[in-house]
Amino acid sequence: MTKETDNAANIVESTALQAGDTAPAFSLPKNGDDTLSSATLQGKAYVLYFYPKDDTSGCTREAIDFSALKPQFDAIGVSIIGVSPDSTVKHDKFINKHDLAVELLADEEKSLSTAYNVWVQKSMYGRKYMGIERSTFLIGKDGKVAQVWRKVKVAGHAEAVLEAARLLN
């Protein structure tokens, strides 16, 4: 790692949200040509899962897994919200193509991704670039972060988040 990369990693680590922190406020466009804000969710528990791109294999699997468990999340009063830099138009196509049941926020300016410290430097085949670190945040009714999952592996993740949400309520 270079000194610059080291410093960037230290900044992300030192500012990374942790359980007990107040969840950053937001208001973003969502699928269906609407807007969703944290103010609308006040007093409710919710899951924010950040993913890199609509209609890629891992992101599709994650969205399908969360959609399949939506009735169970609904039963305990927890909303599921996906966030990516893709547009609402892409989100609508993604939802229709895979019959998804989750809401998807369009964070095209990366404001929410930056606030949650998931817009990070990544590396693939030696090339460095900025992108979303697949991460999930469970937010309690009090507006505080209850649990954080970073560098998520998709298999079994939605079930783990559901179990944590059950314990929250």
Which residues are annotated as catalytic? 59
Whole-Å CA distances, 165 to 29, 48, 67, 99, 158: 25, 12, 15, 24, 10
Q: Which amino acid is at 115?
A: A
Write the Ramachandran bin of 5: left for phi over 0, alpha for psi from -120 to 50, otherwise beta.
alpha
Contact at 8 Å (CB) between 97 and 14?
Answer: no
Cα-only R_g, the chain? 15
